Structure 1
């Protein structure tokens, strides 16, 4: 009788294991559209992993400053984090490959780029990458006043103060603009007080905190690619049951595809909304647009090359195959 009970316990070990709970944070305030999209990943894991694994979203930067979140994941204080990888360029210059990417996450997984970056981030930051989020997320320059247009049709941003972040600081500097470092929660106040003349930001999310009340012009085309990723503490991941890891991995894979589709739909909706509200779009064309984009993507790869990373050639071939050196 006891032997039969013991055998039953052994066979049902998975069901007897308590639901594993992982704590997560977002680098952005939860009301922002990007954090709301991350919530789709959290919900998917919790539904697929009911009784197996659960993610508890603790909050955004009000819970823990964005710049400190990756270190908290490394130390095991937090299990999962979502946000811009470029906040940590100083520790992992290879992150610029995300910014300068012209491939989809699926292509990066197929050509070895995803696995390479996964290894780099674990070595450099002590975290395991789960997913490349919101692929296709392009950035734009938005301004309060109409920028000057040069004779060749390019925009003159010389001397303009633009709210910036590491992802496009060197690009702005290359155009003569003055980057201003301001946290997302303080952007509205900065625009209200005239602390800066414009910002760099995607179309999706620009209306979340009413920044469009002050921003009246947008320069097209968009540039760069998403630097948003989901990471997990390596020990937290290893300690999960095989069933729980399978749930997390599958949800992360599906999130790459689904977040890209949701982003495209939201971008189209928001673009129409801001145009209808009176935003004037200044569209660069022909060689002027090409030079503008070359300057953007080139700044990311030039910065990575200047870092003397031994992974430069591999990363460029994997993430920027259209012009690999």
Structure 2
């Protein structure tokens, strides 16, 4: 090979190497994701809209591929799937894995909004608890500010103290309010939301708790005719991301995803306040009766709910060997006096 040919070869090789380096530097990150609820629910619609926002703004940086919802991975199996890296990101209620990250109950019983928790350090503390206990990042609290009602097919009864009496009521259970229902001595049956319509139709259950919104999407209002006041707890739906997968993303991808999730944390909170009003008006139009307790009964009812959530969190943390510092930190950040 002549001197000229050798120089030409080296130049060509250098250009090729530079091109490969540039291509690698600007390669899009790919993220796999699932969501716990079916696509027709408002919560999933929020998540999918947020993903679209990330993908639009992340062209050339990062793209999220949504693999589906509970039909792809069972809703109660999704926490383990993201922890183990089967998928990178999951949109899911924290209570579905609360036994592993007890701090999630702080969101359930919170008296602050997602925006306030973001500002006062609560969101950062929640993220750190997820990293240490479950190997995931907790990126944001989505569709917050929505509470729960107990809906029944028969007129609710109240005890001598004016508190809801669930004796003899067959109630659909769920991890977020299981401790509360135990405190109310309810007879419960745990099942995914996707199975409740058939259970109501067959009489397996005749009552269920659900959020202030979305009941009509599930068509449970075909059977439920009463909603117990006051509402209790908060939705604890978040976006969690496998820690190793997160660390493998480029800094640009991390920054973009975090920025968009935080924006949607606020946007979804504001949007859901309007949805709550609209859904209540439509339910009343369809004949739903909102049955209120006495002031004393309502106060006792809410106290029972609050104590059940914070008590469960404290017990779980103690069983993990926590010295009480995590409990006190979360209480201060999510339930300031």
Question: What is the TM-score of this pair, normalised by structure 2?
Answer: 0.89
- The answer to whether structure 1 residue 98 and structure 2 residue 107 are counterparts is yes
String of CA shifts for 1:215-272, please: whole Å, max 9, x gaps.
0000011111121110111122112122111110110100110111121121111111
> What is the DSSP-based 3-state SS (H/G/I as helix, E as strand, rest coil) of the residue aligned with 1:176?
coil
Give the one of 230, 247, 252 matched to 1:238. 247
What's 1:24 paired with?
Answer: 33
CA contact (8 A) 2:79 2:96 kept: no
What's 1:144 paired with?
Answer: 153
CA contact (8 A) 1:70 1:127 kept: no
CA change 1:315–1:186 in 2 (3 A) is same
CA contact (8 A) 2:163 2:300 kept: no
Quick one: distance in 2 between partners of 1:299 and 1:186?
26
> What is the DSSP-based 3-state SS (H/G/I as helix, E as strand, rest coil) of the residue aligned with 1:107?
helix
Give the one of 228, 231, 247 matched to 1:219. 228
- The answer to whether structure 1 residue 50 and structure 2 residue 51 are counterparts is no
Kindly report the root-mean-square deviation, in angstroms, between the aligned alpha carbons of the 2 structures: 2.2
What's 1:199 paired with?
Answer: 208
What's 2:121 paired with?
Answer: 112
Quick one: distance in 2 between partners of 1:277 and 1:59?
32
Give the one of 59, 70, 82 matched to 2:91. 82
What's 1:321 paired with?
Answer: 336
Once the two structures are superposed, the pairs formed by residues 62-81 of structure 1 within 5 Å of their partners are: 62-81=71-90
Quick one: distance in 1 between partners of 2:124 and 2:161?
43
Quick one: distance in 2 between partners of 1:46 and 1:316?
36
> What is the DSSP-based 3-state SS (H/G/I as helix, E as strand, rest coil) of the residue aligned with 2:143?
coil
Deviates more, 1:162-171 or 1:146-155: 146-155
Quick one: distance in 1 between partners of 2:78 and 2:62?
22
Unaligned stretches of 5+ residues in structure 1: none
Once the two structures are superposed, the pairs formed by residues 151-230 of structure 1 within 5 Å of their partners are: 151-230=160-239
Runs of 4+ in 1 over 6 A off after TM superposition: none
> What is the DSSP-based 3-state SS (H/G/I as helix, E as strand, rest coil) of the residue aligned with 2:77?
helix
TM-superposed CA distance for 1:61, in Å, is: 0.7
CA contact (8 A) 2:33 2:88 kept: yes
TM-superposed CA distance for 1:9, in Å, is: 5.5
What's 2:46 paired with?
Answer: 37
> What is the DSSP-based 3-state SS (H/G/I as helix, E as strand, rest coil) of the residue aligned with 1:247?
helix
- The answer to whether structure 1 residue 270 and structure 2 residue 279 are counterparts is yes
Quick one: distance in 2 between partners of 1:157 and 1:180?
13
Quick one: distance in 2 between partners of 1:285 and 1:9?
74
TM-superposed CA distance for 1:16, in Å, is: 5.5
CA contact (8 A) 1:161 1:177 kept: yes
Quick one: distance in 1 between partners of 2:166 and 2:109?
22
Deviates more, 1:267-276 or 1:14-23: 14-23
TM-superposed CA distance for 1:70, in Å, is: 1.7
> What is the DSSP-based 3-state SS (H/G/I as helix, E as strand, rest coil) of the residue aligned with 1:66?
coil
- The answer to whether structure 1 residue 284 and structure 2 residue 293 are counterparts is yes
Quick one: distance in 2 between partners of 1:122 and 1:159?
42
> What is the DSSP-based 3-state SS (H/G/I as helix, E as strand, rest coil) of the residue aligned with 2:39?
coil
Deviates more, 1:301-310 or 1:267-276: 301-310
Unaligned stretches of 5+ residues in structure 2: 1-7
Give the one of 125, 132, 145 matched to 2:134. 125
CA contact (8 A) 2:172 2:209 kept: yes
> What is the DSSP-based 3-state SS (H/G/I as helix, E as strand, rest coil) of the residue aligned with 2:218?
coil
Quick one: distance in 1 between partners of 2:248 and 2:164?
53
CA contact (8 A) 2:164 2:301 kept: no
